[in-house]
């Protein structure tokens, strides 16, 4: 009697678990390494088993994230995921469809205009809107997504928290083809549409602004947070500008451990964390008198650095540039900065989500134009 190959045995066992809902839609399978250890086989054998599952349309593989169970249309109806275990996408009768918006936070420097634009475009599209804030915490993000889906939203717009790992709830939406659009921070390797700024190009242009004016010892300032794709792009753009000038971006001059601007720290530690960060920055500035300029990845970071420079009497000597800015009603700018088109990002994210809700499953990346807005002399006084 012909023996069934080991990889087919593993494949059949996992398939059976999927059909019996031991693994549900959105669940992540063990890695190939974990499967090889579990079944005492080689990685090649476990890989072939997973490939068979993927070929049959039972799972999808997301590079760097894992293998996830997806809906399989050819399964018998008795094995389909029941309605009570899946989020109902359709709104209640006689009510307009509602979309969910999940932000890690928002303020005058970045987020308020975008949120207002999202709300206005929802009106134009005939949608209601529900807002949830995660305050920079992945558990709050996961809870918020779950709550919105339980309430029956038709789709979700999300600004992910600062974390190198994506929450399972986001990956679950991707594999279930639930309408979702990310803003500001794209999820590389995950099939989800994105609307935002080309952060690498913007960072490169802002760094060149300083280099063109003779500044060579720039301190790059970022929060103490996992490097999201957006933060990685800003770092890459900064380094690229230096490379184009034949220079080396000296990371020993970087400040990378500021916590006060992170939503979780800002909400729970507030003034205490700010005081600690300012003390740390002042000490760093005094230790590195060779620094001639500062590049902050966020406006709030730029404000903190400027406050420290002013306390040391160096605010006129060392310019500060940043992303975003809290421009006043007459368009005065405290710092030269990358001005993102928040209104366009907000409205386009709703339009993109509306397309997905209507059945367009094409994953799109929309990069919205930005511009460099120069400091208005006297605005920082």
Res 74 pLDDT > 50:
no
The larger pLDDT score, comparing residue 159 to residue 190, is at: 159
What is the pLDDT at residue 331? 58
**Does the pLDDT at position 111 exceed 50?**
yes
Q: Give yes or no for residue 204 having a pLDDT over 60.
A: yes
134-148, 151-165, 171-185: segment of lowest average pLDDT: 151-165
What DSSP string runs through 182-222?
EESS--TTS--EEEE--HHHHHHHHHHHHHHTT---EEEEE
pLDDT interval class at 367 (50, 70, 90) = very high
Over the stretch 84-105, which tens digit does the pLDDT of each residue have?
333 344 443 456 789 999 998 7
Q: Report the alpha-carbon distance of residue 160 to residue 365 in Å, rounded.
A: 16
Q: Strand 180-183 to strand 155-158: parallel, antiparallel, or no bridges (unpaired)?
A: parallel
Nearest Cα to Cα of residue 16 among 75, 60, 65, 71:
75
pLDDT at 83: 31
Q: Are 328 and 356 in contact (CB under 8 A)?
A: no
Strand 370-373, strand 66-69: pairing: unpaired
Average pLDDT rounded to a whole number, residues 214-240: 90
**Helix (H), strand (E) at residue 310:** helix 299-311
* CA distance linking residue 371 with residue 331, whole number of Å: 14
Q: What is the mean pLDDT of the chain?
A: 84
Average pLDDT over residues 55-81: 60
**pLDDT at position 222, please?**
94
- Residue with the bigger pLDDT between 50 and 323: it is 323
Q: Is the pLDDT of residue 50 over 70?
A: yes
Classify 85 as helix, strand or coil: helix
Mean pLDDT value across residues 2-11: 79
The residue with greater pLDDT, 163 or 46, is: 46
Q: Does 77 or 147 have the greater pLDDT score?
A: 147
Q: How far is CA 135 from the centre of its chain?
A: 13
State the average pLDDT over residues 339-355.
94
Given this model, what pLDDT does residue 286 score?
Answer: 97
Contacts of 40 (CB under 8 A, 6+ apart): none
Angle at 215 between CA 211 and CA 221, to 5 degrees: 90
pLDDT (tens digit per residue) in 241-258: 999 999 999 999 999 989
What is the torsional sign of CA 93, 97, 102, 103?
A: negative
Residue 136 has pLDDT above 90, yes or no: no
Residue 145 has pLDDT above 90, yes or no: yes
Domains of the chain: 6-83 (1.10.10.10), 87-197+342-371 (3.40.50.2300), 200-339 (3.40.50.2300)
Through-space distance between the first and last CA atoms of the chain, rounded to whole angstroms: 87
pLDDT of residue 170: 87
pLDDT digits (tens, 9 = 90+) for 278-293: 999 999 999 999 999 9
- What's the rounded Cα separation, in Å, for the pair 252 and 241? 18
pLDDT tens profile 304-336: 999 999 999 999 999 999 998 775 555 567 899
pLDDT, average across residues 197-204 = 96
Give the pLDDT confidence score for residue 78 in this predicted structure. Answer: 30
Mean pLDDT of 108-122: 88
Report the Cα 372 to chain-centroid distance in Å: 23
* pLDDT value, residue 81: 30
Describe the crossing of helices 6-19 and 32-39 by its angle, rounded to 10 degrees: 110
pLDDT above 90 (res 42): no
């Amino acid at each position: 009697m012909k023996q069934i190959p080991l990889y087919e045995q593993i494949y059949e066992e996992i398939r059976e678990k999927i059909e019996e809902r031991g693994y549900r839609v959105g669940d992540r399978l063990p890695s190939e390494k974990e499967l090889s250890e579990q079944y005492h086989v080689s990685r090649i054998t476990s890989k072939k088993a997973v490939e068979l599952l993927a070929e049959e349309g039972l799972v999808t593989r997301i590079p760097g994230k894992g293998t996830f169970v997806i809906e399989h249309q050819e399964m018998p109806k008795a094995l389909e995921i029941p309605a009570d275990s899946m989020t109902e996408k359709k709104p209640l009768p006689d009510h307009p469809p509602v979309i969910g918006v999940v932000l890690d936070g928002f303020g005058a420097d970045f987020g308020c205009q975008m949120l207002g634009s999202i709300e206005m475009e929802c009106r134009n599209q005939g949608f209601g809107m529900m807002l949830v804030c995660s305050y920079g915490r992945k558990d709050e993000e996961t809870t918020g997504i779950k709550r919105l889906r339980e309430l029956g939203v038709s789709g979700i717009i999300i600004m992910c928290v600062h974390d190198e790992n994506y929450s399972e709830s986001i990956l679950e939406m991707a594999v279930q083809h639930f309408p979702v659009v990310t803003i500001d921070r794209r999820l590389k390797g995950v099939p989800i549409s994105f609307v935002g700024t080309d952060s690498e190009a913007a960072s490169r242009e802002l760094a060149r602004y300083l280099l063109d004016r003779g500044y060579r010892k720039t301190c790059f300032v970022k929060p103490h947070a996992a490097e999201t794709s957006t933060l990685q792009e800003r770092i890459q753009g900064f380094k690229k500008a230096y490379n184009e000038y034949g220079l080396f971006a000296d990371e020993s001059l970087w400040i990378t451990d500021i916590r006060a601007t992170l939503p979780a720290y800002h909400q729970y530690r507030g003034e205490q964390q700010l005081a600690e960060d300012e003390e740390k920055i002042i000490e760093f500035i005094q230790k590195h008198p060779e620094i001639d300029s500062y590049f902050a990845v966020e406006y709030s970071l730029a404000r903190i650095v400027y406050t420290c420079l002013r306390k040391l009497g160096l605010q006129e000597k060392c310019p500060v540039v940043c992303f975003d800015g809290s421009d006043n009603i007459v368009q005065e700018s405290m710092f030269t900065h990358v001005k993102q088109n928040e209104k366009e990002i907000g409205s386009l994210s709703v339009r993109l989500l509306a397309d997905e809700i209507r059945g367009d499953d094409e994953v799109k990346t929309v990069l919205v134009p930005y511009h460099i807005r120069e400091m208005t002399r006297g605005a920082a006084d």
